[in-house]
Structure formats: C-alpha cells, structure tokens
Structure 1
Amino acid sequence: MDWPRLDFAAEQDVYHSAHLYLQLIGKLPTRLHPWENHGWHVALKITPSGFVTRTIAANNRIFSVEFDCQGSNIVVDCDGKAVRIIPVTGQSVAALHGELADALTALGLPVPLHGAPNELPEVIPFKDDDRKRAWDPDVIARAHGAFSRADAAFSRFRAAYLGKSSPSHLFWGSFDLAVTRFSGRRAPPHPGGFPNLPDRVTREAYSHEVISAGFWLGGGDVDEAAFYTYAYPSPDGLGDAKVAPDAAYWHDELGEFVLPYADVAAASDPEDRLLTFLESTYEAAAHLMDWPDDVATSRASYGRPTQEV
C-alpha cells in the first residue's frame, strides 16, 4: 500500500486549519469524560475516514464527533440513530463553533465549546476567530492517509510491549499521533512551559518515565512531515546513540530523534523502515534509562502472541 505524498511547504495552511478545527472538537471529551491518566481520554482515534472522539456519555445519551477527512465533514453521531453532518469548507473557527454548537443543541447534548486552542503560541477564543481558513479536501485526505499508515505501524509497535503503553492516538493540542511506553517508575516533576496549556496538565502527563514515539505533519523546527522519538526524563548521552535507519538523526533543539516521513514513504517496505526506527530508538533510550530487559518482545506478528503464554 502506497504512502501518500505530503508537502509541508505547500500544504501547511490547510494543516493549520485542520489543527484548529480539531481543537474545537477536542474540547468535548476534555469536559464531558472522566479524567484518565496522562490525558488519554482527550486524544482522538484514527478511523478509516478521519479522527474521532471516544464515545461520550451525556444527558442520558451517548455520542461521538468525527472529523471526516475523506469527506471534509464533521459528523456528530448520537445513540447510533441521530446524525448531524457539518460540511468543512474552510469556514472560520467562529463559524464552525456556531455550527457545531447548533448541532449538539439540536441533539439535546451539552455544548461545552468555550475557551480557546491549547499548545499554540497565539490563540483567539473559538467564538471570536472569524478569519477564513485555507482548505483543500485532497490535502486533508492525503494527510489522513499518512496518519492511518503511521497508526497501523504504531499499533504493531505497541503490541510488542508487555508493560504499560498508551494506544496509538492523536493529540489535537499538538496535532501529532503518539504511542508511549512506560517503565512504571515515577519521573521528576516536568518543568511545563507549553504555550496555553496549564502546567498541571503537563506534569500529570509526564508523572512517570516514558519513551514516546510519534508522527506529525511538520512545523516548528522541522519543516517537513516526520516521525520522532524522545524520552522523559531524557538520559545523558541519548543524542550520541547509534540508531537506524541512516536517515534518522538527533535534533538538538527538540531533544528528539527524527526520521523524515519522505524517507519512510520512499522505502520499498515503509512499515518495516518505520518499525526499525521505533525499535532502535526505544532500545537506545531504554538502555540508558536502565529499563527492564524483559518487557519489550520481538516484533509483533499477526495471529499469534508476541511470546509463549
């Protein structure tokens, strides 16, 4: 299966629009679902069509909201019976805020859509952001295709770990797909400092030692789609570790290993190339952090356990 072409330089304005739309949707589980450790409940799941909230219970009903990347719609599904579809056309965040609020109200659901985006340096409250947004259905469909292929590899990587691990899930604050492994040991308090995000949220997310891998469409100090791996707390010497494949490198400013998406997409076996990166960077960090040797198994295969049981 081919991995879709991505072009950050040409497509970043559409990515930013999608990021802001997802921020609006992401507020719902934040305010209507019991808090789970490390904020896992707020993350979105990858579907064949797009990104969806987990099922939320409210007002004696259950519902979810999906950002349909393949159809450029937002779909509110309530009780599996009542559906509201909001076309995404590049409207302002304020306009989408109003449309989503109307859809939720019509279904008898709560509307906790107040506030502003998180983890962005400059934010405008949702209801006040009336700037028209760049949009291209083909761009977001291809971006979703890249997330979907990364999700499949991340899920396979997760399956080879016997300790506590997050699912592969999309965090709308940073607009990245992530899968995180835990040693079980407490970590020192995180310094926080993420823009427009309370430090208490960051410190709870990093309450325990982690080695985390992810994928994002580009931005900040990396102007291309890329995969990454980092550890918290980051051990001394991690940046000097030898990892694979050859295209992977240590990014000093981010404190992460980075592998360009283009290198993976061009490989004869993209999933194998990505798994090689995930496995080698995990091994480098786990060795330096003195994690147990018996929690990571051989690469997970389909249809059989990862070890004898």
Structure 2
Amino acid sequence: MNPKSTNSQWPVLDFQEIEATLATLHQWIQIVGKIRLKTMPWQNHSWHVTLYVSPNGITTQGIPFNGSFFQIDFDFENHELMITASQKAPEVIPLQSMTVAKFHDLLFEKLTKLGVEVTIHGSPNEMEPAIPFKENTTNKTYDPVAANTIWKALMQANCTFQKFRSQYIGKCSLVHLFWGAFDLAVTRFSGKDAPLHQGGMPNMPLEVMQEAYSKEVSSAGFWLGSKDFPVPSFYAYAYPSAPEFGNQKVAPKQAFYSEEMGEFFLKYEDVQQSDNPEQMLLDFLQSTYEAAAETSKWDRDNLERK
C-alpha cells in the first residue's frame, strides 16, 4: 500500500487489499455503535448513534451510564480495543483475526466486568445478509496494515470535512461516522421541512429513515466501497433534490453524477493522486453544496459565514 503520489498522508486505498478486513470491521463497529445507541440519550437525526475518528482509530467518545462514563476505542496503531469506565481499570481486547461471534462475546464479557450491562439488537443494519452477530463465523479477517490504512484515509477525510463544516452557520451535523453503511458524513440543513422519506435501506426501520430526513439537507461523505461498488469514494447528495440538481456543473472535473444513485461522486483515488488533495476535496464539497443550495433555493445569505 505504498502511496502512488507524493501525498504520503493520504494513503492508497486498494479495495481488494482492504476488502476482507473492512467487512469484519464493519460488523465490529456495528456492535459498538449499537451499544452507544442503547446507552446514549436520543438526539435528532440519530446523531446519538454515531462514532468518531480519533487520533489513533475510531471512538464512541464518552457515554453517560448510571451516573458515570464509559468509552470504547478502536486503536488501529497499537491494534487493540480499549474499554474504559470511570474509576476502573480499563479492559483491553487485542485486535486480530477473529470471528464476529468471538468479538461480540469478548466485548460483552469485558463490559460486564466494568459494570456496564446493556442489551442490543443482535443483527446488523443496512446490510444483507444480516447474520446475527453471535452466529457470524464468516467475517473473521483482521489485517493490521489494512486497518491502519482505512483509519488514515478516514482521518484525512475527517480533517477536510471539519474545515468545510466551519464555513456554515446554519444547523449542521458534526463530522461523524455512521456504522450502518460505514461512512463518514457531514450534513447541512436549510431549516425547511422535507417531504416524508420513503425509506429503502435494508434492515432499517422506516420511521428511523423518516426522522433522519425530516428536514431539507445537503449531505456529503466518504465511503470505503463494497462488493457491488468496489471504489472508495466521496459522495454528495440533497434531500429533497430539485430536478436540475444532477445537471449542475461541479468541481473538480473528475467528479460525476450517478443517475441511479442520485448523487455526485469523486473517487478517493483521484483525490489521493492529486497535487493538492485537500483543495480538490474542498472544491467538490463546496460546489456540490452550492448545486443543492441554488437549485433548492436555500437562504444562503443567512446560512453561510461571510
């Protein structure tokens, strides 16, 4: 996974090389994400369920529980999962190849030792097939190099997303990781209500989708790819989107619109190999936002930093 350009901070992402590890990690972070979902106070648009990129991996951040706090951290430099709780010694699980079923059992054993008793929905969301975690012996690959590369790519995307987020003074999400599809996202809101969403994600309750998209949005994110679309990419979409949204001219020239998905895409590889990856990505984020804001007639004067 040696970089193909001088941008060594932006690692090369070869989907074939990360695929097996990504599939396992996707299951593992769903388990951790569901623990956060069950223990955090509810927030609009399901913001209470999200995970975050950390200095060495992915974290839940602090979760309030019975008058104290606990936190779960994936460390992709030292390759361990650390569970910490207030005034108790941390519990650690080495990150190595193991089945989803074993990871699930080990994690809940450690939580019990720390006095954190929680029950989650035992099957993954937004994926097919949805094998129950306790029965999943299919996904079991953990390549430390692949895991570290995935984290480094997420970290670079996160840094650029944070910069983009700072220019908006309307309602805006944090830059956060949704474990359903394993994508890093940031969403801007116009302040207007949106039409009732029709759903469509596998193993995702309709009412969750409808609340998540109850307000008009312009959303962008970074997705690591899948078997059906093995191309790590940045994406941008609007909900609802005006008929002319997909016809807007956006930057950079490598960006394209998918009629099937109703989204703009920019391949991670194009960003990684560019002379200035951050600026290329910022151009994509800004121009796709403007495409949404202009075609849907957002009140930009009162939503953007002057």
TM-score by length of 2: 0.94
Residue of structure 2 in register with 1:88 after alignment = 95
User: Alignment identity in percent?
Assistant: 44
In structure 1, C-alpha distance between the alignment counterparts of 2:228 and 2:107, rounded to whole Å: 33
Residue of structure 2 in register with 1:178 after alignment = 185
Residue of structure 2 in register with 1:286 after alignment = 293
Q: How many residues align?
A: 299
In structure 2, C-alpha distance between the alignment counterparts of 1:222 and 1:249, rounded to whole Å: 15
For 1:227-274, what per-residue CA distance to the aligned partner results, in whole angstroms no more than 9, with x for missing partners? Answer: 000000121011111111000000111110000001111111111110
Matches within 5 A, 1:9-28: 9-28=16-35
In structure 2, C-alpha distance between the alignment counterparts of 1:246 and 1:9, rounded to whole Å: 26
Cα deviation, residue 221, structure 1: 4.9
Cα deviation, residue 218, structure 1: 1.0
Residue of structure 2 in register with 1:303 after alignment = none
TM-score by length of 1: 0.93
Residue of structure 1 in register with 2:40 after alignment = 33
Corresponding position: 1:127 with 2:147: no
In structure 2, C-alpha distance between the alignment counterparts of 1:223 and 1:294, rounded to whole Å: 39
Residue of structure 2 in register with 1:218 after alignment = 225
Structure 1, unpaired ranges of 5+: 298-305
Residue of structure 1 in register with 2:14 after alignment = 7
Residue of structure 1 in register with 2:4 after alignment = none
Contact 2:88 2:114 in 1 (8 A): no
Change (3 A) 1:278 1:296: farther
**What amino acid maps onto 1:247 in structure 2?**
Q
Matches within 5 A, 1:1-309: 2-79=9-86, 81-219=88-226, 221-295=228-302, 297=304, 307=306
In structure 1, C-alpha distance between the alignment counterparts of 2:141 and 2:228, rounded to whole Å: 22
Range with bigger deviation, 186-195 or 217-226: 217-226
Which contiguous aligned blocks of 4+ residues in structure 1 show a shift greater than 6 angstroms?
none
Cα deviation, residue 114, structure 1: 4.2
**What amino acid maps onto 1:185 in structure 2?**
K
RMSD (Å), alpha carbons: 1.4
In structure 2, C-alpha distance between the alignment counterparts of 1:295 and 1:110, rounded to whole Å: 46
**What amino acid maps onto 1:198 in structure 2?**
P
Residue of structure 1 in register with 2:5 after alignment = none
Residue of structure 2 in register with 1:301 after alignment = none
In structure 2, C-alpha distance between the alignment counterparts of 1:294 and 1:248, rounded to whole Å: 27
Change (3 A) 1:243 1:273: same
In structure 2, C-alpha distance between the alignment counterparts of 1:257 and 1:40, rounded to whole Å: 24
Contact 2:194 2:239 in 1 (8 A): yes
